[in-house]
Amino acid sequence: MGKNKTGKYLKYAIGEIVLVVLGILIALQINNWNNQRIENNSDYELINTLIIDLKLKNEEALSDLSYGKSMIQNTENIIDYWSNTKKIDTLNLKYSIDKLGEDSWFYNDKSPVLDGLTSSDLWKRLPDSLIRQIDNVYRVELVHVKTSFEKSVEYATHCKLNFLIPNRLTSPNLNTLEVFSIVSKNDKEFISNLEVFRGGVFRLNGTFGDTSKEIDELIENLNIYQSKMKK
């Protein structure tokens, strides 16, 4: 009788231990699953914030590209007219003079979003291909855009100091005929400055186009990576 009771108690105790162990394992599994879910949600939001930041930068690049095309077209008309007639066209003349000395441009390539991403655990888990793409956009392409902006500003300041100010062309009160009178006396110098200016805008536009393309490709790959996180 005693042996039978001992056997039953032993089986009962073993069963209790198994149930407790199973309960602990299930609790750990649920906790791991919950932590993984929280981590995935956090990663998803980080990627989403990065995509939003990239879209904003792409919109800025495309807007600047459109503006650059407009400047090229307006200055090109004056240059072509002078090449054919050796005369200064008054159409968009004052606009071109204003752009020659516009040295207040500024481009901010810094991104708090990138700083937050690179300091997160997600950065260590991202595929190498995505990390290289992100680095290329933020630390190469956008820095290249900033450098191009700085070069344009540098040239505009040079033009202002060496051509516009000496010829009294910085006054906002000058009308088109007054500008035409001054420029006509310095037509070769004006056209030379305008050609260099247009070349700089061409290069800047090329940078905008390349950067926008790289951003589009990165956004596409981030969307693919993000969609896999949902599964």
Residues 6+ apart with CB under 8 A from 225: 47, 126, 127, 130
For residue 223, give the amino acid letter. N
Domains of the chain by residue range: 2-229
* Helix, strand, coil percent content, the chain, rounded in steps of 5: 85, 0, 15
40-43-48 Cα angle (round to 5): 125
CA distance linking residue 72 with residue 80, whole number of Å: 12
Q: Where is pLDDT greater, at 26 or 91?
A: 91
- 111 φ/ψ sector (left φ>0, alpha ψ -120 to 50, else beta): beta
pLDDT per position as a tens digit, 120-140: 888 988 999 999 999 999 999
**Tokens 């981030």 identify what position?**
222
CA distance linking residue 118 with residue 98, whole number of Å: 42
* Residue 1 confidence class, pLDDT cut points 50, 70, 90: very low
pLDDT per position as a tens digit, 176-212: 999 999 999 999 999 999 998 888 889 999 999 999 9
195-199-201 Cα angle (round to 5): 115
